[in-house]
Structure formats: C-alpha cells, structure tokens
Structure 1
Amino acid sequence: MMSAAAHRVCFSLQINPDLLDEYVARHTPVWPDMLAEIAASGRRNYSLFLADGGRLIGYYEVDDDAAAQAYLAASPVAARWEAEMARFFIGLAGRPDQAATPLTEIFHLHDQLVAATSPRGDAGTSPALDDESDDAS
C-alpha cells in the first residue's frame, strides 16, 4: 500500500525494433546490484511493459521522484547499466533513466472510488440519482 505522499510514475521509451530480443534478454534478469540500486532509490512496484513495434512503458511508485532520480543519476551502478542500455533506444537524448518521456495519469480506480464514497455528499452522485430526488420533492 502506498503512503499518502507516494505517487505513481509512468513513462514511455522507444526501443529499436531490431534489438527487441536482446533488450528483453538483458532484463531476464537485470543485474542484482542494479535491482538493489532501484530499490535503494525509493522506487517500488516497478514494471516494464513492451508493446508492438518496440514501445516500452514503465511504471513505478515512489515517495519522492526527484530524490529517486538524483540517487540513480549519482549511482555508478546505474551509470554503467544505463550506458549499456542506451544503444537500444531511438530518439533519446541522455540516459534512459533520466530522459524518458513521462505520461500523465488521467484515471486511477482507487482514487476515484475513494472520492465517490467521500462524506462530502456531492462526490459520486449521478444525474439519474439527482433526477430521482428532484421527483420526490
């Protein structure tokens, strides 16, 4: 479960389609010391998803993303890993872990369920429910 300060981060990168098999092989498994650095940075629940054509989507949760980014930017292990991974990506200026395109979250089920059941009274009402209450008056 995420703490109140935690937030979700999603990003997109483009892998060279000619190198997809090698990219996947390099992640099965990732170096143990790189895994430890990701965890030490504060990132958790980290996943990578690969779409057709080499589009890579990453997701993780973190309490302080700027601090996690800074930690990894200063890590010699992450620098070695990212230097080896850089050749897989198309249209990327800089280290993959520092230059990925962030995606904007527009929906999160849990957040909306909480808002819909909040005691404010106005969250979660639907026009159909409002119409019924108008008929009763």
Structure 2
Amino acid sequence: MMQRMGMVIGIKPEKIDEYKRLHADTWPDVLAQIKNSNIRNYSIFLREPENLLFGYWEYHGTDLNADLAEMAKDPRTQEWWKLTDPCQSPLASRADGEQWSMMEQVFFTD
C-alpha cells in the first residue's frame, strides 16, 4: 500500500542558492538510497519569502521506520546530510528526533 507523505522545514535565506545547487546535481548514491528505501516521487518545493521547504514523497514499503533507519546508516547519505542539514532551519514545533516536520494529509483527490 502506498502512503503519501508531506513534510516541512525552514531554510536559511543565505543558504538557498547552495541548497538549490546541491539538489540540481544530487549524488547518484543518494538517489539510489532513496529508491532502496521504497520512496518514490520525492519532490522538494521552496516558498519565499517565508523560506520554507515542503517535501513530498510516496512511500511504497511496509516498514517506514526500518527503511528510514537504513537510509540514516548509509555513509553517502550521511555525507549528503552534512551538506544539506546546515542549510535548513528545523521548526521549533518538530517532534523529537525529527529534522523535517511531518505533516498530516487532510485532502486528496486523484
């Protein structure tokens, strides 16, 4: 069963250009890990001047927590996050352990 997931995080205004540059040339190893984690149709959108990033993906696995844990153990993904995390500004209201704040889906139409 596929699960649609949305998430939000702030981005530091002075880091927007760097963040865009990184994602314009995302490392193939990172993209492969996303796919291996059963994530499809992953998109990130930027909203200025509020400086928010909105992420969307479709999860096609059966154990999200296990898949995300495997992703977090991947050395190349960890290297990637060392570049991207400093660009981000996590929300004060995020749950413990969250970088991106997960969102509740309140509407869908196909």
Q: Report the TM-score range of the alignment, normalised by the length of the smaller protein.
A: 0.7 to 0.9
Q: Distance between the aligned counterparts of 2:17 and 2:34, measured in 1?
A: 23
Instruction: State the match for 2:53 in structure 1.
Output: 56
Aligned partners of 1:43 and 1:68 also within 8 Å: no
Indicate the structure with greater strand content. 2
| Structure 1 residue identity aligned to 2:57 | Y
Aligned partners of 2:90 and 2:99 also within 8 Å: no
| Structure 1 residue identity aligned to 2:20 | V
Residues 91 and 48 of structure 1, relative CA distance in 2, 3 Å threshold = closer
Q: Distance between the aligned counterparts of 1:91 and 1:36, measured in 2?
A: 25
Instruction: State the match for 1:108 in structure 2.
Output: 108
Structure 1 gap segments, 5+ residues each: 111-137
Q: What TM-score do you get using the length of structure 1 for normalisation?
A: 0.69
CA displacement at 1:40 relative to structure 2: 0.8
Q: Distance between the aligned counterparts of 1:71 and 1:99, measured in 2?
A: 16
Q: Distance between the aligned counterparts of 1:13 and 1:68, measured in 2?
A: 21
Aligned partners of 2:90 and 2:100 also within 8 Å: no
Q: Distance between the aligned counterparts of 1:82 and 1:67, measured in 2?
A: 18
Q: What TM-score do you get using the length of structure 2 for normalisation?
A: 0.84
Indicate the structure with greater helix content. 1
CA displacement at 1:104 relative to structure 2: 0.6
Give identity over the alignment, percent.
32
| Structure 2 residue identity aligned to 1:77 | R
Q: Which has the larger radius of gyration?
A: 1
